Amino acid sequence: MRWHRNGHELGFSLTNARGPGDCYSYDVTTGKLERWTASETAVKTDAFPQAELVRWKSFDGAEISGFLYKPPAKFTGKRPVLVVIHGGPEGQTQPTFLGRSNYYLKELGIALIYPNVRGSTGYGKTFSRLDNGFKREDTYKDIDALFDWIGTRPDLDAERIAVTGGSYGGHMTLAVSTFYSDRIRCSVDIVGMSNLVTFLEHTEAYRRDLRRVEYGDERDPKMRQFLEKIAPMNNIEKIKKPMFVIAGKNDPRVPVSESQQIADALKRQGTPVWLLIAKDEGHGYRKKANQDFQFYATVEFLREYLLK
């Protein structure tokens, strides 16, 4: 938001489920609201679902919240669910324009849930630190509690749940796929860390100390032992459901080795795994051709393992 130099007009941009972002001004003296831009969306968005704020209790009584987007009424019966976990972990999912993710809702009939598990920002410093160091597993349990909540909803199918996320959300996806494998149908890991120890050892040096504050210092023997114990890579036999692993070969944040090692291990033990590595990408795909390929492949993966 920016104030006009006249002191009574406020300029701001607004993004929501039905608009990718437009500019407005508001005159605080007259109450006049004026829209300045009209973004192109290529398709009509007036029927796109608005986000529903939902809350559930976790294992320790902490209240966790997130946003639910429901498919249109043409899809009857309990709907399959895709849980989308944000990265960071110092981040926060907000109601926003979903872009091509509306395809999951409008064409596939999949409900989307975007949780803000402990460690998310925007809920106070205490909440943002509830997943630090030896508390790492508590944030995994927040997703397990979400699965319980899904089971209480008459419109959602607790027998058909998929989990996805990128970066730290990818690590969460791997952890949930490991420790709660019996509660999901499949998962899509995007540039996720399969072992926080190897991640800390191989990420770019300029990021290492900052990440140690969050995940713990792998040079400390007790912390290293703990991180190795909970690493999805070291519990590979517990991952029993199909997984789609996506990475960029030139990723400076989460080295491609984090994705390659988990995919190779899953293949060796016979767990269905799809692997996509873009040779000309880094931490998340930026080129449209690659983004398109990733999206279409993800749609096919979900059709194969979530919707059948």
| CA–CA separation, 218 and 196 (whole Å) | 8
Catalytic residue among 58, 167, 187, 194: 167
DSSP 49: P
Q: Is the peptide bond before 252 cis (omega within 30 degrees of 0)?
A: no
**Cβ proximity of 158 and 111 under 8 Å:** no
**Cβ proximity of 104 and 140 under 8 Å:** no
Whether 283 is catalytic: yes
Contacts of 183 (CB under 8 A, 6+ apart): 144, 147, 158, 161
Contacts of 4 (CB under 8 A, 6+ apart): 10, 11, 25
DSSP 87: S
**Cβ proximity of 46 and 67 under 8 Å:** no
Residue linked to tokens 């669910």:
81
Contacts of 248 (CB under 8 A, 6+ apart): 191, 256, 277, 278, 281, 282, 283, 284, 285
Rg (CA), the chain: 20
| CA–CA separation, 217 and 144 (whole Å) | 26
DSSP 59: T
Angle between helices 221-230 and 136-152 (to 10 degrees): 30
Catalytic residue among 22, 25, 217, 283: 283
Catalytic residue among 131, 157, 189, 251: 251
Whether 4 is catalytic: no
| CA–CA separation, 126 and 103 (whole Å) | 37
By annotation, the residues acting in catalysis are 167, 251, 283
